Amino acid sequence: MPSLFADGAYIPLQATGPAARHVVAFARRSQAGVALVVVPRFVLELAGNLDQPQVPARCWNDTAIGLPEEWGVLQIRNAVTGAVHDVDREISVSTLLHSFPVALLIKTP
């Protein structure tokens, strides 16, 4: 989806919850579809000494990524894991990052 990243609108997404400062998220949106990118930051501060790059789900608590209200319900697929999520206004970070340390979520028209 090169046109989505080259020409799509950049939309910063807000995280809420106890570990909100430990995650960065943004979307790219165009007629080609929507891509959501979610990555952790400051992981050593969040989870202590890790023996792998993945933050345990318990560390995210109720942290979530908010989506623009006008998007309504989206069905998105994680391009890394293949998991499909129905999302309405927010999605749990622990749901997105429980099996891989980052998420790239795609919705095509």
* Per-residue pLDDT reduced to its tens digit, 71-106: 888 899 999 999 999 988 999 999 999 889 899 999
Residue boundaries of the structural domains of the chain: 2-107
Residue 91, C-beta contacts closer than 8 angstroms, at least 6 positions apart: 64, 65, 67, 85
* More confident site: 15 or 4: 15
Q: What is the DSSP string of the chain?
A: -HHHHHHSEEEEE-EESTTGGGEEEEEEEETTEEEEEEEE-SHHHHHSS-SSSSPPGGGGTT-EEE--GGG-EEEEEETTT--EEEEESEEEHHHHHSSSSSEEEEE--
* Per-residue pLDDT reduced to its tens digit, 21-31: 999 999 999 98
Torsions phi, psi of 69, nearest 5?
-55, -35
For the domain made up of 2-107, give the CATH fold. Immunoglobulin-like (2.60.40)
Mean pLDDT of 51-73: 85
Average pLDDT value over all residues in the chain: 88
pLDDT of residue 74: 87
